[in-house]
Amino acid sequence: MSRPFVVMKIKLLGKTPDELKAIAVSVGLPAFAGKQIAQWMYQKRVKSIDEMTNISKAGREKLAEKYELGVTAPVGMAVSTDGTKKYLFPVSCARANSLNAADDASDDELESAAIEAVMIPDDDRKTLCVSSQSGCRMACKFCMTGRQGFHGHLSAADIISQFISIDESQELTNAVFMGMGEPLDNYENVMRAIEVLTADWGFGWSPKRITLSSIGVIPNLKRYLDECRCHLAISLHDPFADERADIMPAQKAYPIQDVIALIKKYDFSGQRRVSFEYTMFSGYNDTKRHEDGLIRMLRGLECRVNLIRFHKIPDFPYETTSEKIMESFRDRLNAHGITCTIRSSRGEDILAACGMLAGQHKSKS
């Protein structure tokens, strides 16, 4: 039985004012309508073209014939006892590397998937932990996202939609690209989303409000450091190459020693910060030998180390390091001039903590 033909509309989210100006003119709207569309999407955070009331009804109908906003409503939400909220979204992902923007791909090139985003409240801050892919190709063994495989890249529209469609959209103060996926593996779409977040015509956020986390995809890491002023967090987890490779297969392609060498070429003494994420496993990476390895590796670099409690997942042999050992580990790094903290665990009871996101992959219909 043949599949019914489906006309795929092009998503407007993620477009720049110049691109929106060209789109407006192409459907018979005045050029200034491009700026109006950008204001409605990024500043007023509307969820449909029909809400753009300073554009004529006929103009909105003409625009809607070929285009859609691209805001996807969550299909599920869970609330933790600590106030953390996890949202589940359906998305259509581009599988192939060449498909940098899923909204430009044909129906046959898209796959139905699901992703999760986490809103973390903390006093007067509300941080969105945003996803950039469905699944992940990095295959870290202690991460539920990495263990489910790779289902596709998110478009810039899918990424920005996470900011717009949640209940706290207008209250968000910060963003961390630490959800599902490796952000630097989907570089073009992630950078376009960051442009929307930081541009005057977009959300107007300071780059200081955004942190991108990566295992260290070296070619795109260099581009990020050259092109972006947002903060950087590197998933380190072990200073020794053989041990890191055992739990993080990407170590073979992007050795952490090379990642650190690249980072040391840049200045982090100003407003942009670099931090290192270190999930602790009892008896595996929490010994004095590992402390010494980290001290040697990070010596001379203005940085912070965040120690993360491991949240037990099925079929992974290691347990969570004790609080006493984590505190001792932290104190010794601090004594050697490396700022080190133990990150608070949030949302574990709803599977929203670090390494626990695993949006249900849906088969292509």
Active site residues: 116, 354
Beta bridge partner(s), residue 89: 115
CB atoms within 10 A of CB 256: 24
Are the CB atoms for 133 and 185 separated by under 8 Å? yes
> Phi, psi at residue 212, to the nearest 5°?
-110, 130
CB atoms within 10 A of CB 277: 19
Are the CB atoms for 69 and 9 separated by under 8 Å? no
Are the CB atoms for 344 and 306 separated by under 8 Å? no
Residues 6+ apart with CB under 8 A from 65: 27
Six-digit token string for 286 = 């929490």
Cα–chain-centroid distance for residue 296?
30
Six-digit token string for 31 = 């050029």
Cα–Cα dist 73/154, whole Å: 15
User: What is the SS3 assignment for 285?
Assistant: coil
> Phi, psi at residue 290, to the nearest 5°?
-75, -35
Give the orientation angle of helix 218-227 with respect to helix 187-198, to 10 degrees. Answer: 20
Label each residue of 104-171 as H, E or C.
HCCHHHEEEEEEEEEEEEECCEEEEECCCEEECCCCCCCCHHHHCCEEEECCHHHHHHHHHHCCCHHH
Burial of 325 (0-12, 13-18, 19+ CB in 10 A): middle
Cα–Cα dist 220/64, whole Å: 35
